[in-house]
Chain A
Amino acid sequence: MFGDLSLVSLIVSLMIASTPILFAATGELVVEKAGVLNLGVEGMMLIGAISGFAVAVSTGNPIVGFLGAAAGGAIAALIFGVLTQYLLSNQVATGLALTLFGTGVSALMGQPYNGLKPPPSPRLDIPVLSDLPVVGPILFSHDIMLYVSLLLVAAVWYFLYRTRGGLILRAVGEDHNAAHSLGYNVILIRLGAIAFGGACAGVGGAYLSLIRVPQWTQDMTAGVGWIALAIVVFASWKPYRVILGAYLFGGVTVLQLNLQALGVNISAAYLSMTPFIVTIVVLVIMSANRRKTSLNAPAMLGRIFHASH
């Protein structure tokens, strides 16, 4: 049954399928580490997908496109930021609002771009190495952004656990009153984290519209943003485990898509469910140990901070 599936091409497409989730989940991890729960990932990804696409098409430069996507995602995230940090709105409801709003805004912005092709993204091409069998396609000849996503995880890990800034950000997420008493500006730090999370989600969305698909279609994220949120829980808020989670889900997605393409005797609709069902199963397994979960989760996650003095 797997005869005409080459393992190498399977791994390559797995990595490509995982990258949007990896970007979004890494950004959300930083947001949650600062004690903020932003459920608007899906909306920010959609806004990033279309703003990246629009910028790339009009400048002809995909890298500028990704910068535009980051800007679009960050601006969308800051709406959430202002509402939750200054106007003390409920984070769950505001995050949902951002997803509903982002779905609408992206559809509106995307109307002139239906059916267009984006400029191709640069790929890594190292003489000899990229031409190696097996290792070449898997390690040395992806698009640049795929490497950026992995570097991003490393950079986030370094920032969170090896720098003073990261320590402050985690302190804000663990006990915002204590951080405030020490003189740190809780709200500004959180706004920074929220904007960063939005930029990452935006880039993840643009990876879909500029590289993976590559095209703009309405609602093209199709739940990936929500899966990214689940991955953060799966990863127990640890950066390196986000890679594991994202690649696991990329794997499930690619496998079911390939089974559909092979015409396996299961309805395509049932196969399309599998990434979501796997997400639920994994969430259950990861959450079942209450003590461990509450140890890993930032203590202030979703709590409102208001300095009375």
Chain B
Amino acid sequence: MLRLERRRQSSRIMFWTTPLIAVALTLIIGGILFAILGVNPFAAMKIIFLDPFFHETYGPYSRTQFLVKAVPLILIATGLSVGFRAGIWNIGAEGQFVMGAIAGAAVGLALYPAEGWWVLPLMAIVGALGGFLWAMIPAILKIKFNANEILVSLMLVYVSYNFLAAMVTGPLKNPDGFGFPDSRNFTDVEATTLPLLYEPLGLYTSGVVALIIVIAAYILMEKHLLGFQVKVTGQSPRAAKFSGVKPALIIAMCLGLSGALAGLAGLFEVTGPAGKLTTNFPVGYGFTAIIVAFLGRLHPIGIIIAGLLMALTYIGGELAQLVLNLPAPAIQVFQGIMLFSILAVEVFINYRLVWKKEAV
């Protein structure tokens, strides 16, 4: 009988190869899915993973969206991964993304049409602060009242969607917008436009900021005492308590950090690719970032790779819709399969399969 046996020590090799196994598994199961949908799986995989870079006519257009998708995912996933390491589950990054965007955008609109280099940094700070404060709600409710942060942060996503709807039809509505439910366009004024650094890949200034933050997160997690405390809390909350870690501090830090980064990502989205607040500007990055965090093994470097890969499934998926008529939700299913696969193979880091005779 095939059984799982605990390894004496977790396997380093498996730690880094399991994501690759997961991707391979995703390709197989996803391929079967595409075949069921009547799409040639090999053609679909080529279009999703290769054409954005190598196709002569579609490639150059498709590539301009590559980092547009990857950067917010990486930014949000980096924050989430710190919390996940501590066993603190911020599932509401989507809401923090929206609230950060609203907060930063409100400042931009209040100053409209301000000139000056300081406007955008100010909006970014307020955006991060907006996400931070929104994430402090589940943090404080968990610290003070023991309320489950998963459910609270998730409920706040729905609250934030409705708040966004209230804002773009109310106080933040474009006064010259003929009654449409959206804000002024930030890219009309230079001071509130996120600079586009390299158009062919869709690299905005946010990409540089994200890179710096990932490096900072790496230092925090690997070189700093706080990172160590986060990891101890995740592995054994009791041991952490005895060694003097303050649980309240860890909860506040993990939720606050991930909230701030999600808020920052939201602000970058409205001042860059989206251009303005509308009810449909949040497209689920806050949820997809959860997949990115796990695919990247909750490790900063892994998250960069995972974010790029996930962005590829987005832009490749859009190409596949265009070329092969692949239904739009198929890509979401594909991403779901990817997360399932990662979770399924993770067991082999700490366990190995052994053949054992049935004990009587």
- Residue in contact with A226 in the complex, picked from B147, B155, B334, CB distance below 8 Å: B155
Any B CB within 8 A of the CB of A270: yes
Any A CB within 8 A of the CB of B32: no
Closest-by-CB residue of B relative to A226 is B154
Check A89 against B327 for contact (C-beta < 8 Å): no
- Residue in contact with A308 in the complex, picked from B6, B154, B155, B344, CB distance below 8 Å: B6
- Residue in contact with A267 in the complex, picked from B170, B287, B290, CB distance below 8 Å: B170
How far apart are the CA atoms of A102 and B283 in the complex, in Å? Answer: 17
Any B CB within 8 A of the CB of A296: no
Interface Cβ pair total, 8 Å cutoff: 138
Check A226 against B151 for contact (C-beta < 8 Å): yes
Any A CB within 8 A of the CB of B340: yes
Check A107 against B332 for contact (C-beta < 8 Å): yes
Closest-by-CB residue of B relative to A108 is B329
Check B343 against A273 for contact (C-beta < 8 Å): no
Any B CB within 8 A of the CB of A57: no
Check A88 against B333 for contact (C-beta < 8 Å): no
How far apart are the CA atoms of A119 and B310 in the complex, in Å? Answer: 41
Take A107-B332, A269-B166 as given contacts and tell me if A88 and B347 are in contact as well, using a CB distance cutoff of 8 Å. Answer: yes
Take A88-B4, A96-B290, A108-B333 as given contacts and tell me if A270 and B151 are in contact as well, using a CB distance cutoff of 8 Å. Answer: no
Which listed segment binds B: A5-13, A60-68, A206-214, A286-294?
A: A286-294
Which listed segment binds B: A126-134, A170-178, A235-243, A276-284?
A: A276-284
Check A283 against B330 for contact (C-beta < 8 Å): no
Interface residues of A, dominant DSSP:
helix
How far apart are the CA atoms of A15 and B345 in the complex, in Å? Answer: 44
- Residue in contact with B340 in the complex, picked from A101, A267, A283, CB distance below 8 Å: A101
Check B339 against A283 for contact (C-beta < 8 Å): no
In the complex, per-residue mask of A92-106: 1 if CB is within 8 Å of any chain B CB, else 0: 111011001111110
* Interfacial chain A residues near B340, Cβ < 8 Å: 79, 83, 94, 97, 101
* Interfacial chain B residues near A101, Cβ < 8 Å: 333, 336-337, 339-340
Within 8 A of B (CB), among A192-228: 218, 222-223, 226-227
Any B CB within 8 A of the CB of A39: yes
* Interfacial chain A residues near B290, Cβ < 8 Å: 93, 96, 100
Check A269 against B147 for contact (C-beta < 8 Å): no
Check A270 against B330 for contact (C-beta < 8 Å): no
* Interfacial chain B residues near A229, Cβ < 8 Å: 151
Check B158 against A276 for contact (C-beta < 8 Å): yes
- Residue in contact with A89 in the complex, picked from B37, B329, B347, CB distance below 8 Å: B347
How far apart are the CA atoms of A229 and B147 in the complex, in Å? Answer: 13
Size of interface on A: residues with Cβ below 8 Å to B: 47
Check A287 against B336 for contact (C-beta < 8 Å): no
Check A87 against B330 for contact (C-beta < 8 Å): no
Check A100 against B166 for contact (C-beta < 8 Å): no
In the complex, per-residue mask of B72-106: 1 if CB is within 8 Å of any chain A CB, else 0: 00000000000000000101000000000000000
Check B145 against A108 for contact (C-beta < 8 Å): no
How far apart are the CA atoms of A102 and B335 in the complex, in Å? Answer: 11
How far apart are the CA atoms of A90 and B291 in the complex, in Å? Answer: 13
* Interfacial chain A residues near B156, Cβ < 8 Å: 276, 280
Within 8 A of A (CB), among B141-171: 141, 145-148, 150-152, 154-156, 158-159, 162-163, 165-166, 169-170
Check B158 against A223 for contact (C-beta < 8 Å): yes
* Interfacial chain B residues near A88, Cβ < 8 Å: 4, 347, 351
Closest-by-CB residue of B relative to A39 is B150
Check B343 against A104 for contact (C-beta < 8 Å): no
Q: Which of B89, B159, B287, B332 has most A Cβ within 10 Å?
A: B159
- Residue in contact with B343 in the complex, picked from A39, A90, A270, A279, CB distance below 8 Å: A90
Take A276-B158, A283-B147 as given contacts and tell me if A96 and B333 are in contact as well, using a CB distance cutoff of 8 Å. Answer: no
Residues on A close to B: CB < 8 A?
A: 39, 79, 83, 87-90, 92-94, 96-97, 100-105, 107-108, 111, 218, 222-223, 226-227, 229-230, 233, 267, 269-270, 272-273, 276-277, 279-280, 283-284, 287-288, 290, 293, 306, 308-309
The 4 closest A-B pairs by CB, nearest first: A101-B336, A104-B332, A107-B329, A269-B166
Given contacts A83-B343, A223-B155, 4 further A-B contacts (CB under 8 A): A100-B332, A102-B336, A223-B154, A233-B151
Residues on B close to A: CB < 8 A?
A: 4, 6, 37, 89, 91, 141, 145-148, 150-152, 154-156, 158-159, 162-163, 165-166, 169-170, 287, 290-291, 294, 327-337, 339-340, 343-347, 351, 359
Q: List 16 A-B contacts (CB under 8 A).
A: A39-B150, A97-B339, A97-B340, A100-B291, A104-B336, A107-B329, A111-B327, A223-B158, A233-B148, A273-B159, A276-B158, A279-B155, A280-B141, A280-B155, A283-B152, A288-B146
